[in-house]
A and B are shown apart, each in its own frame.
Chain A
Amino acid sequence: MDIRYRRTETPLLLAGFVTAVLLVVMLYYPVASVLAAAVFVDGSPSLDPIRTIVTDPFYWDLFGFTAYQAALSTLLSLALGLPGAYILARYEFPGRRTIRSLTLVPFVLPSIMVAVGFAAMFGTNGPPNRALAAFGLPTVELMFTLQIIVLAHAFYNAPLVVRVVAAAWENVDTRTVETARSLGASPRRAFVDVVIPQLLPAVLTSALLVFIFTFMSFPIVLALGGLQLATVEVWLYDRIRTLRLGEAAALAVLEAAITLGLTYLYLRYETAQAATRGLTLRARKRLFLTLNLERLAIAAYAVVIAFVFVGPIVSMLIASVTSGGSFTLRYYELLFARRDAIVGTRPDLAIRNSLVFAVGTLALAVPMGVVISLMTARDTLSARVVGTLAMVPFAVSGIIVGLGLLQTVVFGVTVVGYRVQVTGATAIVAAHAVGAYPFVVRTVSPALSAMDAHLVESARSLGASRVRALIDIELPIIMPAVAAGGAFAFAISIGEFSSTVVLVEGGDAYTMPVAVERYLADRTLGPATAMGSVLLLVTSVSFVVIERIGAYGGIE
């Protein structure tokens, strides 16, 4: 089975080489430059920084709570996301594609926007509480609790579950279900024995990603919960800010050890799932045909979605046109006037940069991800190690990556006598691609490992080159997974902040999230919420457009 991979041909090798170079320059070397402080003190190897942390009961509590809230957030994201994946994969209804495109929107929103939206929607004076009060019912106090943090995490991450699982669900082979049914299995039995095993890799992938993301959560925790509910990342940020880099590095190493450990365990499971798979896809059911229990449940789910997702987003938009309780377009006028600003951040430039970088990231991250997936779609130790290392962009705190980039490629690195600096647009696209490609890997790998390996072998034995086999056999089968990964790559690029803000380095390559942050002055929220709303609208439109283009190109 391994022979076909050993005979990898030049184009794939080249792509693998480019990927490796990008990873070393924009990720491994910068991150290592920071994390070295965890194991070196004054130039000599030492375990003191890590020992200081693991012997401090305070940090045990901090790590324990961080993992606990991440686990809760993962469960809620699954609970909110899985029904959505089912509906998008199994039902046909007007606007299905548009809704699927828009699922990614929460994923890119700056935390201040989510904080504004959540406080307005779920606060003491939000619409639900006012409705409860109007009926004389007791109100629900969610602000500054663990519950609202978990809910906000689900707001960010349930869309991820929807996308990853829906892509897998669309790929469930209808013949396996029909066979089970014709052999006398009930629909429930067929679902449990046939469909669930085919979905499990995708469900676990998304759960792993959600856990890692919420484990690293930071601004939203402080905005909605407070220091009383702080996570590890809050302490990490403090250590970076006060330049206590040894302790910061030690914290980051422990975080990464936990998340990478989980990744490794997951990969052992995923690569062991060697299923065989054909190509017959199931037809979708029409949603608005008959009324039965299932469709009633879907209606109830739609209400929950409106409540958790649409509510906060509408609240953000309202906040951007409200000042002192009355309607105003002042903040938008301000943004509009800033197009001509000689000094400072121009909104139009931020929009353009964000879109250009996102398209660039898409073009770079998708091939990178597919290549890494092909290289790791085997059940071997080395494949699992490479697969685990591929997840480093998610497993290492964004704050650490940002600092690493700053003190290496931005400050300049001396290479054979020359001081080499990498900043600006190209560096940002490269950094985004490095930050986004794990998504492609994590969506494509399960699809690849579930694919019938004999298909490629047959093609190869009939004389097809490796690249030809990839284009003609594998890509068409894994296309929904590639499309899902590509959509995430685009979204990651739009939303990325911590590396971007470092690589802009005084230049004009700032993006929309950077503009939002810069408009946040310690005196007023207005201009930042207006810019955040622009980000929301621009992103929504571009998601829909991309999906349409994909549909024309035959990518579902």
Chain B
Amino acid sequence: MKRRTFIVGAGGALTALSGCTAGSIIEDSTITLATYDSFVDGEDPVGPWLKEEFEAEYDVTLEFETPSGGINQYIQRAQQDAEINVDLFVGLNVDELIRIDEQLDVPLFDALDGELERSDRIRDELRIDPEGRAVPYDTGYISLVYDERSVEPETFDDLTDPATEDQLLTQNAQQSDPGLAFLLWTIHEFGESGYLDYWADLQDNGVRVLGSWNDAYNAYLAEERDIVVSYSTDQVFNGDVPRHQIGFLNDQGYAQPEGMARFSDAPEPEAARDLMEFMLRPDIQGGIAERNVQFPAVDDAELDEEFDSLAHVPPEPVTFGYDDLLGNLEGWVEDWARQIRS
């Protein structure tokens, strides 16, 4: 448990002193939030802003941890009885929830969805966890980004058409979130028995599967190709220009909700719960969405108008839930990867 006395400058010292004379020591709890790198690093990241907003209203210090292995770090700690001194994990995907449940017999997180006051404002279609451990706080939509001067992909069939030959760039679903989302999108469309045939057609039409989002987007920026799998918020960075048009295949986009969850043995469970509640507030939801360049999870978020006009929501969001993926995911990805590789 991390506690520390909070004394800032002379004024703070005075407060502490007066606190002492009153017979109590003013103490300030610290909570630790584990998340992914870009939550705290990158351009105008959400982390520092959230820290400032939260600490202004609560007597709690917020700290961050960005383990390189993401959630695996905590799964493995739990498996090996090593301490988890973290209160909250922010940035859970549904595939990670499945991995947690396949690897661990003991609960890693508490189920708080439904218990939080603002739970009922969360959009239902974003709920990825039937057990309510992961509380959605934002979502992204995977779409295509394309150059309208050369191509106009509107349907899945367009991507296997000679007009888009050697144009599509995507990512390795084994390692990349948008890559996995695009693969799942094709499975959603063509079914478990049909998706590999569709990918065979994509391969015949020259699809290139690179490693990470960065790899694919870098090749797209170098104008190697004119279609890349990316996020529907692309224009927030690049503006509404011909090279950065958003393509929703069959009017769909694959939703990728992100959840937050409190660790079962969180050192500061109450403060962690306060932070979760705080992160669902309309103004904070808007701030998170804009800085994360994602969409809010609640239906009453306060969003900046310019952001709203450049971040596109697909007419028909699709996604697989926990129950659809459990027991299937690994096999789907492996069969796909082997087909691409050979």
Contacts and interface: CB of A to CB of B under 8 A. Distances in A.
Interface in A325-353: 334, 341-345
A518 B39 CA distance: 10
Interface stretch (B11-19, B73-81, B300-308): B73-81
Interface string A202-229: 0000000000000000010111001110
Given A411-B76, A412-B82, A522-B178, A222 B212 contact: yes
A120 to B, nearest CB: 6
B218 A521 contact: no
Contacts of B224: 119, 123-125, 143-144
Nearest to B100: A243
Interface in B80-112: 80, 82, 99, 103
Given A411-B77, A522-B213, A227 B341 contact: yes
Given A119-B219, A228-B208, A228-B209, A62 B341 contact: yes
A519 B214 contact: no
Interface stretch (B40-48, B156-164, B190-198): B40-48
B261 interface: no
* Secondary structure call for the A interface: helix
Given A119-B224, A411-B80, A525-B217, A228 B340 contact: yes
Interface string A402-420: 1100110001100000000
A307 to B, nearest CB: 18
Contact of B223 (A116, A125, A525): A125
A115 B217 CA distance: 11
A344 B47 contact: yes
Interface stretch (B62-70, B122-130, B266-274, B312-320): B62-70
A238 B51 contact: no
A502 B73 CA distance: 10
A10 interface: no
A7 interface: no
Contact of A230 (B45, B238, B341): B341
A521 B337 contact: no
B66 A522 contact: no
Contacts of A411: 76-77, 80, 82
A417 to B, nearest CB: 15
Contacts of B48: 341-344
B96 to A, nearest CB: 10
A411 B85 CA distance: 12
Contacts of A219: 211-212
A227 B43 contact: no
A343 B65 CA distance: 10
Contacts of B341: 58, 62, 227-228, 230
B133 to A, nearest CB: 18
A92 interface: no
Contacts of B211: 219, 221-223, 226-227
Interface in A482-505: 501-502, 504-505
Interface string A58-101: 10011000000000000000000000000000000000000000
A525 B221 contact: yes
B215 interface: yes
Interface string A269-292: 000000000000000000000000
A191 interface: no
Q: Which of A403, A407, A521, A526 has the most CB of B within 10 A?
A: A521
Given A119-B224, A344-B47, A501 B68 contact: yes
B311 to A, nearest CB: 12
Contacts of A116: 218
B76 A406 contact: yes
A363 to B, nearest CB: 27
Contacts of B213: 522
B222 A227 contact: no
Contact of B65 (A126, A144, A345, A506): A506
Interface residues of B, number: 56
A120 B67 contact: no
A222 B75 CA distance: 27
Contacts of B76: 243, 406-407, 411
Contacts of A61: 342
Interface string A119-141: 11001111000000000000000
A469 interface: no
Interface in A108-166: 112, 115-116, 119-120, 123-126, 143-144
Contacts of A115: 214-215, 218
A212 B75 CA distance: 32
Given A119-B222, A222-B212, A521-B37, A241 B174 contact: yes
A182 interface: no
Nearest to A515: B41
B64 A343 contact: yes
A411 B81 CA distance: 9
Given A61-B342, A226-B210, A243 B217 contact: no
A227 B231 contact: no
A266 interface: no
B155 interface: no
Interface string A194-207: 00000000000000
20 contacts: A58-B341, A119-B219, A124-B222, A143-B219, A143-B224, A219-B212, A227-B209, A230-B337, A230-B341, A234-B172, A343-B48, A343-B51, A411-B76, A504-B68, A506-B67, A519-B37, A521-B38, A522-B212, A524-B237, A525-B221
Interface of A: 58, 61-62, 112, 115-116, 119-120, 123-126, 143-144, 219, 221-223, 226-228, 230, 234, 237-238, 241-243, 324, 334, 341-345, 402-403, 406-407, 411-412, 501-502, 504-506, 517-528
Interface of B: 37-38, 40-43, 45, 47-48, 51, 64-69, 72-73, 75-77, 80, 82, 99, 103, 172, 174-175, 177-178, 208-215, 217-219, 221-224, 231, 233, 237-238, 293, 330, 337-338, 340-342
Given A407-B80, A523-B38, 17 more contacts: A112-B214, A116-B218, A119-B219, A223-B214, A227-B174, A227-B340, A227-B341, A228-B340, A230-B337, A343-B45, A504-B68, A506-B67, A523-B42, A523-B237, A524-B43, A525-B217, A527-B43
